[in-house]
Amino acid sequence: MSRPRVRDDLAPMEGYHSPQMDVDVRLNTNESPEPPPAEFDIALRDRLDSINWHRYPDRTALQLRESIAEVESGAAGRALDADQVFVANGSNEALQSVCLAYGGAGRSVATFEPTYALHSHIAKIAGAEVISASRDENFNLDLGAAEELITSWKPSITFLCSPNNPTGAVETTQTIETVLKLVESVDGILVVDEAYGQFAAHSALELVSEDRSLLVSRTFSKTWSAAALRLGYLIGPSWAVSDLFRVVLPYHLDAFKQIAGRVALDFHHEMEARVAFLVEERGRVATALDELPLDQWPSGANFILFRPRAVPGDELWNRLVESGVLVRNCASWPGLTDCLRVTLGTRAENDRFLVALQEVLG
């Protein structure tokens, strides 16, 4: 029996994934180390009684978008409206919607490597050509290379990740403004991926307006302790949000998810407390890493990228797994040979990681 063939441009590609292993300490996927407060479970159960299970959910998820706009108005520095918010099944579906709306065959998408691998992965699936420029030796954005790439190729979509995954680098407001002007000069749109935005000192949300071609993506998976929920969103001009609704599937966000997202947002102060704790742990772990024979890069996220000096990265990763600690092996990223990335966990988990690391490197 003959079988259909996958598209020729997809044949060499593999699905994106992170290893899931049965270990004592899992610090490889940048999740929150703590669940939402117990009150979240109670409030969610109470609100589920309002679901009419025999009816389709609100197609536009209006109430959830209104709640997100209200919460994120603080980071934006001004009031946001629901029509400036697009919600989806994780920020990855939101990014996919951008690629479906503005990318596709005959168009190009720009990335700056190393960065979040799904930016290029999703763009290729949508049929666009991916063009990339390398960051400098410290993994910072090279504005000269960015200008050359954007003015030469005129990409319809340009991705920035701030804090960048997996390096942790935070782009300055001036850098984002410079790239945005370059993108707008070629009639493109800039997407700033802020999956870890709450851990940084500033946000590109401050630049969002109706007359700028800027979208900022965020997620419930990290700071809101809701990775299992698979809920993300984009904030940008209302005309762009309208374009995204052209390509998303009808009723794509179920009623349970819409309610759970609104309930999570009610615990904003608890989220900020978790962020503050992880920022403090980030400093403590970084100080401990300074005492070991490795190189690390400054991080504005809930993870730290590091490279051992005397032990191959693959060997160190395996020996940490043998010690019951799973971190992310980043060797497959461009320019990240021997690099590992550790997610900040609970204090006990971080101590367990540091002890295991010291035993291997010491």
248 and 297 fall within a common domain? no
253 and 286 fall within a common domain: no
Model pLDDT for residues 172-217, shown as the tens digit of each residue: 999 999 999 999 999 999 999 999 999 999 999 999 999 999 999 9
pLDDT digits (tens, 9 = 90+) for 291-332: 999 999 999 999 999 999 999 999 999 999 999 999 999 999
Q: For residue 184, tell me if it sits in a domain.
A: yes
**Do both 253 and 123 map to the same domain?**
yes
Q: Give alpha helix (H) positions in the chain.
A: 38-47, 62-76, 90-102, 117-125, 143-153, 173-185, 238-247, 255-265, 268-289, 313-322, 347-361
Domain extent at residue 81:
49-266
Same structural domain for residues 111 and 258? yes
Whole-model pTM: value is 0.94
Residues 6 or more apart whose Cβ sits within 8 Å of residue 206: 75, 76, 77, 173
Does the residue 58 lie in any domain?
Answer: yes
Task: Look up tokens 């051992």; give the residue.
Answer: 308
Say yes or no: 84 and 185 in one domain. Answer: yes
**Residue 255 and residue 286 in one domain:** no
Return d(Cα 263, Cα 276) in angstroms, integer.
21
Specify if 12 maps to a domain: no
Structurally, the chain folds into a number of domains equal to 2
Choose the final residue of a domain: 218, 242, 266: 266
Is the domain of 55 the same as that of 86?
yes
What is the three-class DSSP state of 217?
Answer: strand
